[in-house]
Amino acid sequence: MKCVVFSPSGERLASASEDGVLKLWDTTNGQETLAFQTHTDTITCLGFSASGQLLAAATKDGVLKMWDAMSGSEALVIRAHSDTTNDLSFSADGKRLASASSDGTVKVWDTMYQSLTPVLKGHAGIIHSVAFHPKGNLLASASEDRTVKIWDTVRGKNVTTLEGHSNRVTSLAFSPDGEQLASGSSDGTVNVWDMATGQKRLTFRDHIGKVMSVAFSPDGKRIASASGNSDWLSSFAGEIKVWDVATNQEVWAANRHNDDVTSVAFSPNGKRLASASKDKTVKVWDAESGQEMMTLKGHTDWINCVTFSPDGSRIASASNDQTAKLWDATIGRETLTLIGHTFAVRSVVFSPNGTRLVSVSNDGTAKIWEAVSGQETLTLKGHAGSVSSVSFSPDGNQIVFGSEDNALRVWDGRPESETDGGLSRSERLQNVLTDKHPMSQSK
């Protein structure tokens, strides 16, 4: 026997052994009421919430689990620490759970959100892109399994699955009114979907290589797409295309980058378009004419993502050189370099009010930064694989992360000053939208 703990009422006892088996006992008669294999590693500590409704257990390998203590149903599974978790403690109201570890950290988790949404099984492959609907609780995800899934993040349900690509779906963008969704794929096409019917409205087919990024203009009238080399033409450098949604016609195209174009983003006023490339540069274009305006140089490895701040004054980029950079969008001057990730930074996004920046990385973490000072304020962990995509909800209250562990995780995106209690550096996981299928090749 490794550890035991009484429920607050004293009517139940939880016990855990080194073989990972957890048992619940009725202390009035000594009868076993529940028994289940909970972990593959030794359970090091247990804890009941004050109400006795929740039971948490942590292990030598840093995994944290939480259950409904009455039914035994699992409410949470997360890799909380990088080393042994030594102690657990619920707050008096049961809304928070603190975990202490040999990795030198104490983490505080918001338990309220764990019961809102169960684990969802859907995608059968790596999730490459996520996008929140501009007006509500819908979330779109794009996967290696060639599908786009639409989720209701409140009910935790898959609303519909959009099928129509013949290769992995790499990128997503909602129109500003939320009535259309664009998806880019390694099959070289951009599909435009009607959100009311789930039917495909348009397909743009003129890219030679795989489509790596799509973006709607702020007025919803145009779509920009970026492509890289194809499986059969590896020498192709990649290109940018801008399309007219009403006429289904190409407006302009450019191939001034020297390698794959990995990301495109319109400025908030729609007058400029930024592109990022494996050639280690960001280029800014006149969105109407396609004329190149400036080139931003500073990264030492290829760039995976580019985005404008909500006011259009800054550009953020994420790179395989393990950094994210901020640039003055008017003159192209580098203003900040965000250092903290230990592997390639895959994506970066501004909060809707522009005060924060979130970066995600192949190191399995997401980091939140102050956009003005560049100070790191929070590191979020939980994915078992590289974190490949990130999106804020329109109100900034949620952040969703997509990962190569085939999972979507939704976190409370509010700053600490806006959360109940103002806990410093607390980690607040809301729900997990996941899939248990094996991973496949990444884009």
119: amino acid identity, one letter:
V
* Distance from the Cα of residue 381 to its chain's centroid: 11
- Asked if residue 154 is part of any domain, the answer here is yes
Shared domain for 25 and 51, answered yes or no, is yes
pTM over 0.85: no
User: What CATH number is given to the structural domain containing 48?
Assistant: 2.130.10.10
> What pLDDT is attached to residue 251?
97
Distance CA(151)–CA(109), nearest Å, equals 24
> What pLDDT is attached to residue 112?
58
| Burial state string for 22-55 with b = 16 or more CB within 10 A and e = fewer than 16 | bbbbeeeeeeeebeeebbebbbbbbbbbeebbbb
The residue ranges of the chain whose pLDDT is under 50 are 113-120, 232, 417-443
Shared domain for 325 and 387, answered yes or no, is yes
Shared domain for 286 and 395, answered yes or no, is yes
Shared domain for 286 and 403, answered yes or no, is yes
Shared domain for 142 and 178, answered yes or no, is yes
Shared domain for 133 and 181, answered yes or no, is yes
**Listed residue (260, 183, 205, 258) closest to 227, CA to CA:** 260
> What pLDDT is attached to residue 104?
61
Strand arrangement of the beta sheet that strand 85-90 belongs to = 85-90, 96-101, 106-110
Shared domain for 48 and 163, answered yes or no, is no
Shared domain for 64 and 133, answered yes or no, is no
- Asked if residue 442 is part of any domain, the answer here is no
Shared domain for 165 and 195, answered yes or no, is yes
> What pLDDT is attached to residue 259?
92
> What pLDDT is attached to residue 44?
82
- Asked if residue 443 is part of any domain, the answer here is no
> What pLDDT is attached to residue 173?
94
> What pLDDT is attached to residue 217?
98
Shared domain for 234 and 381, answered yes or no, is yes
> What pLDDT is attached to residue 181?
97
Q: Are 44 and 60 in contact (CB under 8 A)?
A: yes
- Asked if residue 118 is part of any domain, the answer here is no
Burial of 158 (0-12, 13-18, 19+ CB in 10 A): middle
- Asked if residue 290 is part of any domain, the answer here is yes
- Asked if residue 117 is part of any domain, the answer here is no
Among the candidates 112, 136, 162, a domain finishes at 112
Distance CA(211)–CA(344), nearest Å, equals 21
Domain count, the chain: 2
Shared domain for 154 and 55, answered yes or no, is no
> What pLDDT is attached to residue 432?
45
Domain of residue 108 covers 3-112
Shared domain for 144 and 262, answered yes or no, is yes
**Listed residue (75, 37, 92) closest to 59, CA to CA:** 37
> What pLDDT is attached to residue 429?
44
